[in-house]
Amino acid sequence: MVQQAGAHLPLLLAEPAPGGPASPPPGGRETALLVLEDGYVLRGRSYGATGRTVGEIVFNTGMTGYQETLTDPSYHRQIVVMTAPHIGNTGVNDEDPESSRIWVAGFVVRDAARRASNWRARRELEDELISQGIVGIADVDTRAITRHIRERGAMRAGIFSGDALPVGAQYLGDEALASLVRIVAESPAMSGAALAAEVSTDETYVVEPLGDFEGKEPIARVVAVDLGIKSRTPYHLAARGARVYVVPSTASFADIEALKPDGVFFSNGPGDPSTADREIGVLRAVLDAGIPYFGICFGHQLFGRALGYGTYKLDYGHRGINQPVKEVATGRVEITAHNHGFAVDAPVGEPSVAPFESGRYGRVEVSHVGLNDGVVEGLRALDIPAFSVQYHPEAAAGPHDGELLFDRFISLMTAAKETH
């Protein structure tokens, strides 16, 4: 990688992946550029739709599950780099999406599969990206990108191809590249972004009990606040006998209370938890009413803030399906799926008194800790029926070590019903 003086700032020009183009690529695919806000530039080939996209660039370490990643609303406004080298070989099917559309802002792969080879495939991945207007880039060194993000932190980036490339950009001309860096640097940052309303359902819908519980009276009624919910979450609750009312992120406590819930769930979702004051007010009303609570990912961060703890942005976040987490009480280590760029700042070790209003919600313990970097991965209230985890026990692509948390939520609701 060499440093080259640009028109207004230094540009870091990285070599393409081995076998990638050293000059504008021959027929088939057009030149595409991946441009980071610090001036780091990679040249590759267009993959998916052509055009321009900007967002926060992050990397995902999963070797499987790209379809679940693409359709996870938590990736809204993020450009996702897949560290696994070969992507698209299993195509796209109609069973694995976590929502009704692709949410990533852009997609970065090293080696794009030429064709799908899987009995479940219904379409080629690139055709799906094109049909949904997702701009991507292939034939770039995703290892180099990942290393750069780990060293410099998550940042804004853009993918440019086709008509979005200014004259001279495909030849890495200084002035053209500097103009692309400016576009990226002027795009919205993830810090301070309130995005839940952009990915939430517009209307309430119901998921009835499934499997052995189908057609029977529900064991519990759960109101799930959709902050970017994945379809696998209500499935897990319904498979355990719950009737799940999925409500918009704008639901008030009165809206929730009217559904007579035995428990309330706050889902995963995109954005900065420091912007979610309204949602936190609703969550505190749930806790004040003594309704059992379970939160995942964004719902975990909002639980932490409701208790009075702070949140902060991680340097480059956790994203992938191979993250070790220890349950503090038992010492059990789970291999878990993650997708978060923010974390809760709570004391690890002995239980602490929740800071909000001098302990209004009593004592709280950090229930789970990430073994890679010590990040808080779970909270459990000791004096009220509420808990949360940062990771994704519902992960459809696996691992499934954390699924027992849904059983724990059912037990919490059942116990609360028996005492009232």
Domains parsed from the chain with CATH numbers: 2-185 (3.50.30.20), 196-418 (3.40.50.880)
pLDDT of residue 13: 54
Residue of 98, 128, 377, 394 with catalytic role: 394
CA distance 234 to 230: 8
Taking a C-beta distance cutoff of 8 angstroms, is the pair 359, 351 a contact? no
Q: Report which of 335, 315, 316 is spatially closest to residue 377, judged by C-alpha positions.
A: 335
Q: Is 368 a catalytic residue?
A: no
Q: Is 178 left (phi over 0), alpha (psi -120 to 50) or beta?
A: alpha
Q: Which two tokens stand for residue 203?
A: 């209307």
3-state secondary structure labels for all residues of 30-75: CEEEEEECCCEEEEEEEEEECCEEEEEEEEECCCCCHHHHHCCHHH
Q: Is 236 designated active site?
A: no
Given this model, what pLDDT does residue 14 score? 53
Determine the pLDDT at residue 23. Answer: 40
Which of 62, 105, 76 shows the shortest CA–CA distance to 341? Answer: 76
pLDDT attached to residue 12: 55
394 is catalytic: yes
Candidates 304, 179, 292; CA nearest to 237 is 292
**Regions of the chain short of the pLDDT cut 70:** 1-28
* pLDDT (tens digit per residue) in 19-44: 333 344 444 689 999 999 999 999 99
Contact between 41 and 158 under an 8 Å Cβ cutoff? The reply is no
* pLDDT the model gives residue 133: 98
Inter-residue contact 360 to 372 (CB < 8 Å):
no
User: For residues 301 and 37, is the Cβ–Cβ distance under 8 A?
Assistant: no
Helix (H) or strand (E) holding 102: none
b/e burial code for range 365-402 (CB count within 10 A of at least 16 → b): bbbbbbeeeebbbbbbbeebbbbbbbbbbbbbbebbbb
Q: 56, 236, 279, 297: which one is catalytic?
A: 297
Q: How far apart are CA 299 and CA 387, in angstroms?
A: 10
Give the list of residues 6+ apart from residue 74 with CB closer than 8 angstroms, or none. 103, 228, 230, 268, 269, 270, 297, 298, 339, 340
Q: Please state, in angstroms and rounded to a whole number, the distance separating the CA atoms of residues 403 and 396.
A: 10
Q: Is the Cβ–Cβ distance between 301 and 390 less than 8 Å?
A: yes
Distance CA 228, CA 231 (A): 10
